[in-house]
Amino acid sequence: MKFIKANFMEANFMYYTWLFFLLALFGWLWEGFLYLFKDDIYVNRGFLTGPWLPIYGMGGVMLEILFHKWRDRPIMIFVSSMVICTILEYLAGWYLELTWGVKWWDYSEMPLNLHGRICFWGSMMFGVGGMLLVWVISPLFYSLYRRIPLRLRTGIGLALILLFVADAAYSAIAPHYGKGITY
82 domain-assigned: yes
4 domain-assigned: no
84 domain-assigned: yes
3-class secondary structure, 6: coil
Number of domains present in the structure of the chain: 1
The Cα–Cα gap between 72 and 75 comes to 9
Domain that holds residue 64: 22-173
45 domain-assigned: yes
Each residue's pLDDT expressed in tens, for the chain with a length of 183 residues: 444 444 444 468 999 999 999 999 999 999 889 888 888 888 888 788 899 999 999 999 999 999 999 988 999 999 999 999 999 999 999 998 998 888 888 999 999 999 999 999 999 999 999 999 999 999 999 999 999 999 999 999 999 999 999 999 998 888 777 666 666
Judge whether 84 and 66 are in contact, CB under 8 Å. Answer: yes
12 domain-assigned: no
The Cα–Cα gap between 173 and 154 comes to 29
6 domain-assigned: no
The Cα–Cα gap between 136 and 59 comes to 16
> pTM (2 decimals)?
0.84
